[in-house]
Amino acid sequence: MRLALSCSRFFLTLATAYVLLTALLWYAPGRDLDESLWGTAQTLANEPGARTFSSYFEFTRWYASELVHGRGGTSIQFGVPVSELIAERASTTLTNAWRGFAAAWVMALTAGVAAHFWPGIGRLALGAGSVVLSLPAAFVVVALALNGVAPWVGLAVCVWPKTYAYWQTLLQMARKRAHVLALLAQGAGPWRLQWHAIWLPNTRQLFGLLAVSVPLVLGALIPVEVLCDQHGLGQLAWRAVAGRDLPLLTALTLLFTAVTSGMSLLAETAGLEAK
Amino acid sequence: MRILGLLHTRCLPFSRGHMKNLASMVLSGVVLLLVAGPVVSRHDYAAQDRDLILSSPGSEHWLGTDSLGRDNFARFVVGGRLSVVMAATAAGGACAVAAFVGTIGALGGSAARTATAIVFDVMLSTPWYLLVFVIRAVLPLDTSAGVTAAVTFGILGFIGWAHGARAIRDAVLGMVTGPWIRQARATGAAGFTLWRAHIVPNVGPVLVTQFLLLLPTLMLGEATLGMLGLGIPEPLPSWGGSLVELVQTNTVLERPWALVPALLLAISSISLRALAGGESS
């Protein structure tokens, strides 16, 4: 029942995003102009200007069928199908996102485990994390990029403080549980305590945390790709704004919304309060 | 705030009260600078001195000039005022919406609770950068800088209300089952009276905390958008817009004073979050 409710929320999120975005496209300034340079609903058609829609509902129906068939209209700026552009750039984004995500988790888990044995490292990690969180993500990315650091490291540095904070909260809650206190009283060693009493019983929540960190990575991806000149989907979205390329921007927003909502659904399924 | 809370409980040798006082003092200093800055500065933020482009700090221009010969100090101070005032307005609006929706979600029965939970999920699953991008892309090209700035902060505020609303809903739900509400009900209080006399005063601190958390989030969000060229547009100054210069390779080494907006942002952000931590305790 709970899973069904979560799934219905997922589809409702997508439907809301779809309705809002298509409404924006339909009512965008310049809709009535017969020029493919303007972001109009009409230019979503594969041949700009060739298709006309008599109503908003007709347009949404047509756009939905385009999305279902994996097309999503034609980019105004680049003059090629949106799906082609996304396919072309997805690999860069996936590579950056995957490396950044993995590095953020390695940093968070290493700091978390080290803090258990040497509290000084925990203090250092918390101090560094609060400084990173108090600066604009773009500033952190630029500071690292100017020092020759790879873009995915910038991504990891932006994401790890939140991952670490979630992880530490989860550990703190776990340490207060009765079975952990009982093991402590029996004189269990620190590794045994970490592994058997804290990590293993929290595997589900750990998967939930993994799912929660994906939207964090996606959020930091745009400044990273724009400022480090990475030809990925984040940079594509930014270029779409500069070129007022609404068909491309709509498709990218729907894609990112689907991923974010999907990850929230996964986190919820894992029994974790997602955000 | 979660990480500041952890930092406080783990490492700081003084109490939350001391931390709150320190944060208040630092914030007062920043506010004083932003209020008094334009009065003591002898330059207009938009005035250009083409003979003094990218000059170093001196008696004439305290923090040097930018690439158009405009006084950096005047631009940092006016930009800071603009960022703080607009972020505070957006955060205030977001908190008002959060209080309204959160209270309805808690007191409006099971249907209202489910409906608000769905709305929260939809809002929190929206990739906010892209939403800002879409709305900025549909703005007419002749939109003025002021309107663009207001729209940008408006969108940020619109995105930010859901977190607060969820916290308020949870707080009100906790209060409804609390002993003093049960006692009030037993003494005959109900409906609007119960809400006004017993719930609103107790929701206040939660609302203040949400405001203090949202304010730095919006300021940092605008700064990141500003560095991407999508924040407060020229000729209006902003902290995010001032940081764009840092994207060039040698800026930090040649003109370290360009870091002042980042420093002010970090100080304000840490202080506001520390205040929020003190408030929530």
Domains of chain B: 2-43+63-280 (1.10.3720.10)
Q: In chain A, positions 173-212, which contact chain B (CB-CB < 8 Å)?
A: none
B72, pLDDT greater than 70: yes
Question: Residue A30: its pLDDT value, please?
Answer: 55
Encode pLDDT of B15-38 as tens digits.
Answer: 677 888 899 999 999 999 999 988
Q: Compute the nearest-CA separation of A48 from chain B (Å).
A: 18
**Cα A93 from Cα A231, distance rounded (Å):** 8
Which of A13, A122, A241 is facing B122, going by the closest CB pair?
Answer: A13
Q: Using DSSP, state whether B233 is helix, strand or coil.
A: coil
CATH code of A91-243, in short, is 1.10.3720.10
**Cα A239 from Cα A88, distance rounded (Å):** 15
- Alpha-helical segments (H) within B125-242: 128-138, 145-176, 179-186, 191-194, 200-227, 239-242
Of all residues in chain B, the one with the smallest CA distance to A125 is: B7
Encode pLDDT of A55-76 as tens digits.
Answer: 888 888 888 888 888 877 788 8
ipTM value of the model?
Answer: 0.83
Question: Residue A232: its pLDDT value, please?
Answer: 93
- Say if CB B172 and CB B199 are below 8 A apart: yes
Q: Compute the nearest-CA separation of A70 from chain B (Å).
A: 20
Q: Using DSSP, state whether A47 is helix, strand or coil.
A: coil
Q: Where are the domains of chain A?
A: 91-243
Mean pLDDT value of segment B135-144: 82
Q: Which residue has the higher pLDDT, A171 or B256?
A: B256
Which of A133, A226, A241 is facing B137, going by the closest CB pair?
Answer: A241
Question: Residue A34: its pLDDT value, please?
Answer: 41
B273 interaction partners in chain A (CB closer than 8 Å): 130, 134
- Is residue B53 within 8 angstroms of chain A, CB to CB? no
Upstream peptide bond of B235 is cis (omega within 30 degrees of 0): yes
B192, pLDDT greater than 60: yes
Contact A135 B7 (CB under 8 A): no
Lowest mean pLDDT among A26-40, A113-127, B170-184, B207-221: A26-40
Residue-wise DSSP of A93-133:
HHHHHHHHHHHHHHHHHHHHHHHHH-HHHHHHHHHHHHHHH
Of all residues in chain A, the one with the smallest CA distance to B246 is: A142
